[in-house]
Amino acid sequence: MEVPILKQGEFLIATIQAALSDADLEQLRMALIQRVVRFRSRAVIVDVTAMDVMDSFASRTLKEIAQMIRLRGAETVIVGIQPEVAFTMVQLGITLESVATALDLEEGLVYLSQKFKNIA
Amino acid sequence: MPAEESRVPINSDQDIVLARQKGRALAADSGFSSVDATLIATAISELARNIVTYAKHGDIALSALADSGRRGIMIIASDQGPGIVDIRQALRDGFSTSGSFGLGLPGVRRLMDEFEISSAPGQGTRVMVKKWRQERPEK
Q: Which chain A residues have a beta carbon less than 8 Å from that of B27? A: none
Q: pLDDT-derived band of residue B89, with 50, 70 and 90 as boundaries?
A: confident
Q: pLDDT-derived band of residue B98, with 50, 70 and 90 as boundaries?
A: low
pLDDT for residue A120: 54
- Using the predicted structure, report yes or no on whether residue A83 has a pLDDT greater than 80: yes
Task: Please indicate if any CB of chain B lies within 8 Å of the CB of A18.
Answer: no
Report the SS3 class of residue A111.
Answer: helix
Do the Cβ atoms of B103 and A56 come within 8 Å? yes
Condensed to tens digits (0 to 9), the pLDDT of residues B16-44 reads 999 999 999 999 999 999 999 999 999 99
pLDDT for residue B96: 59
Give the H or E element holding residue A4. none
Do the Cβ atoms of B49 and A22 come within 8 Å? yes
Q: What are the structural domain ranges in chain B?
A: 2-132
CATH of B2-132, one of 3.60.15.10, 3.30.565.10, 3.30.1490.20, 3.40.50.2000: 3.30.565.10
Give the H or E element holding residue A12. strand A11-15
User: Average pLDDT of B75-93?
Assistant: 89
Sorted by where each starts, the structural domains of chain A and their CATH numbers stand as: 5-119 (3.30.750.24)
Q: Does the CA dihedral A92-B16-B40-B53 come out positive or negative?
A: negative
Do the Cβ atoms of A21 and B13 come within 8 Å? yes
* Percentage of chain A exceeding pLDDT 90: 84
Condensed to tens digits (0 to 9), the pLDDT of residues A3-59 reads 999 999 999 999 999 999 999 999 999 999 999 999 999 999 999 999 999 998 999
Q: Which of B12, B42, B91, B112 to mutate to test the interface with A (most CBs of A within 10 A)?
A: B42
- Using the predicted structure, report yes or no on whether residue B119 has a pLDDT greater than 70: yes
Do the Cβ atoms of A88 and B34 come within 8 Å? no
Amino acid type, A89: M
- Using the predicted structure, report yes or no on whether residue B4 has a pLDDT greater than 80: no
Task: Please indicate if any CB of chain B lies within 8 Å of the CB of A53.
Answer: yes
